[in-house]
Amino acid sequence: MKPRVFLTLRFLATFLVFSILAGLITWIGGLQIAQTWPFLLGAAGIAGLLAGIRKRHRFFAGFTIPSMVFLALSGFFSLFSFHLIPMRLKDFVLSYWLAIPAVSLACLFLSAVFFGWRRQAGRGKKSE
């Protein structure tokens, strides 16, 4: 089996397990499926992190950043899905649309700094 196919199967198996857990939480909690769909985004984020760690044995930007985006989207949409914010998503976006690109750029900058710093630290160790 090719390594890429094996990695995909690991991701899908982990995603399936966490999706089933999300379904159980929905069923046990008596929640509606329409409310709990952000759990699936979180399941994809966790599955991506675990697949990346299993492949590289550390956090790797190619897996970590997309997985963190899925986890952040899961948390963000959960706020509206569970009515923790007393407004609709459409009203929130219309009111705070400038904050969305600002927060996105800040997250990208912090990710670039973090992974760039780790890359520089790795190069320093090799040259010593």
> How large a percentage of the chain has pLDDT more than 70?
81
Tell me the residue range of the domain where 109 lies.
98-128
- Are residues 11 and 32 located together in one domain of the fold? yes
Sign of the CA dihedral running 66, 69, 75, 79: negative
Mean pLDDT calculated for residue range 10-33: 87
- Are residues 111 and 81 located together in one domain of the fold? no
Q: Mean pLDDT for the chain?
A: 81
- Are residues 9 and 57 located together in one domain of the fold? yes
Mean pLDDT calculated for residue range 27-44: 87
Number of separate domains in the chain: 2
CA 62, CA 43: separation in Å to the nearest integer? 18
Q: Model-level pTM?
A: 0.68
Report phi then psi at 113, rounded to 5.
-65, -45
Please check whether residue 93 lies inside any domain of the structure.
no
Please check whether residue 54 lies inside any domain of the structure.
yes
To the nearest 10°, the Cα dihedral for 111, 104, 36, 50? -10
CA 57, CA 61: separation in Å to the nearest integer? 12
- Are residues 7 and 44 located together in one domain of the fold? yes
- Are residues 63 and 103 located together in one domain of the fold? no
8-18 pLDDT, tens per residue?
A: 788 888 899 98
- Are residues 77 and 105 located together in one domain of the fold? no
- Are residues 32 and 80 located together in one domain of the fold? yes
- Are residues 59 and 31 located together in one domain of the fold? yes
Please check whether residue 49 lies inside any domain of the structure.
yes
Give the length of the chain.
Answer: 128
Please check whether residue 127 lies inside any domain of the structure.
yes
